[in-house]
Amino acid sequence: MWDKRSDMIVHEQDPFNAEPTPQVLAESDITPVDAFYSRNHGPIPAITADDWRLDVSGRVERPHVFNLDEIRQRFTTHAVTATLQCAGNRRAGLIDVRPIPGEDPWGSGAVSTAEWRGARLADILDAVGAEDDPDLHVAFTGPDVSEVATPPQPYGSSIDIAKARSGEVLLAWGMNCQPLPRIHGGPVRIVVPGYIGARSVKWVTAITVIDAPTDNYFQASAYRILAPDADPGAAGPGDGISLSTLPLNCDVLTHSDGDRVPAGPVTVGGYAQPGNGRRIERVDVSTDGGTTWNQAELDLPYGPWAWCRWTHTLCARPGPLSLVIRAFDDTATTQPETPAAVWNPKGYLNNSWPRMTLHVT
Ligand code: MTE
């Protein structure tokens, strides 16, 4: 479906929600389009490049409706390699702590990396004369009406104007050197590197410069960290902590918990992702539950917004082999040790130390 690999783990057919297996993600630095995770809250719109229009308005001097040709001709094309990560990535680990009813049990695959190509949002904001006020926000709206929202409404989100004006935020029409596929927001989407995937609005048709974060359901009510004792059914707009930047995270992709491996040298690997604007400095691997650690080899990332891939080879003896991984960023911050430490009622941002046991035969 949607030209995805047949071995995708499909959480929902309609709306389509699917992730690649960790082992498929492990195969490449840049995730092929047919393996890139897909997260949707409503029907996938069918908009052609000819039909697509973008209405830019709000606190701007010259509101304007753009078409794709105008955007491609007026603005310099930029490419950014960025990892997109859904706030629900690794939710399955939180569900193991306490149930999270009504939310899909995403595993390790709600994260993928692509080379995105398009115009800088900053250039478009300049062209329409966005007001120069550091307290403004920039809202994005898509055409897909989501029944998940209360009340049902088009998908939307917003980001602060400082991030919107940063060079890395794109209005993207290209993904891995192809036209942006419809399932990933084609003809045009927003890409906000370093922020939760929910802010990268697909099929974007309106950009509005506003005084405060948008009251769209997906900004005001969803994608917020509620207190562990909160009832998500009773939570309303503004409750909890709104999510924007991603926290430091890492995961194992080459193996899954319970895998059997032959005795001898075993190479494990995965990725580490720093928080917004930070750098991965070190990834540690422990085989004794976190008492002692060895350092993994780090690959040079494709740029400041792409995941940092790591590998570590160890000598496995027959029996159970426990693995615990942790990453450090350039401020010496590391991750929480357990999923219980970060459990929240909607199951967002599990960035606890990944743990698994391999069976060595
Ligand atoms: N944009 C629209 N219009 N509708 C959506 O449902 N989902 C968001 C975001 N943008 C969504 C959207 C979420 S939660 C994520 S994680 C990313 O898109 C996923 O992008 P992908 O499907 O290209 O991987």
pTM of the model: 0.98
Distance 34 CA to ligand 1 centre (A): 16
**Quick one: average pLDDT of 54-76?**
98
Domain 249-360 fold: Immunoglobulin-like (2.60.40)
Mutate to test the pocket of ligand 1, among 40, 173, 218 (most ligand atoms within 8 A of CB): 40
Q: Dump pLDDT digits (tens) for 140-149.
A: 999 999 999 9
Q: How many CB atoms lie within 10 A of CB 329?
A: 21
pLDDT at 277: 85
Distance 41 CA to ligand 1 centre (A): 8
Interatomic CA distance for residues 187 and 179, integer angstroms: 7
Q: Dump pLDDT digits (tens) for 142-192.
A: 999 999 999 999 999 999 999 999 999 999 999 999 999 999 999 999 999
Mutate to test the pocket of ligand 1, among 158, 192, 202 (most ligand atoms within 8 A of CB): 202
Range(s) of the chain covered by CATH 3.90.420.10 = 9-242
The candidate with the shortest Cα–Cα distance to 81, out of 31, 121, 25, is 31
Which numbered atom of ligand 1 lies nearest the CA of 15?
6
pLDDT at 276: 84
Which numbered atom of ligand 1 lies nearest the CA of 40?
6
Which numbered atom of ligand 1 lies nearest the CA of 190?
10
The candidate with the shortest Cα–Cα distance to 154, out of 119, 113, 205, is 205
Please give the angle made by the CA atoms of 272, 103 and 356, to the nearest 5 degrees.
40
Q: Look up the CATH superfamily of 9-242.
A: Oxidoreductase, molybdopterin-binding domain (3.90.420.10)
Instruction: Give the list of residues 6+ apart from residue 328 with CB closer than 8 angstroms, or none.
Output: 248, 280, 281, 282, 283, 284, 334
Range(s) of the chain covered by CATH 2.60.40.650 = 249-360
Are the CB atoms for 339 and 352 separated by under 8 Å? Answer: yes
Distance 302 CA to ligand 1 centre (A): 23
Interatomic CA distance for residues 225 and 220, integer angstroms: 11
Looking at residue 213, its amino acid is: P
Instruction: Specify the DSSP element, H or E, that contains 88.
Output: none
Interatomic CA distance for residues 65 and 85, integer angstroms: 30
pLDDT band for position 250 (50/70/90)? Answer: very high
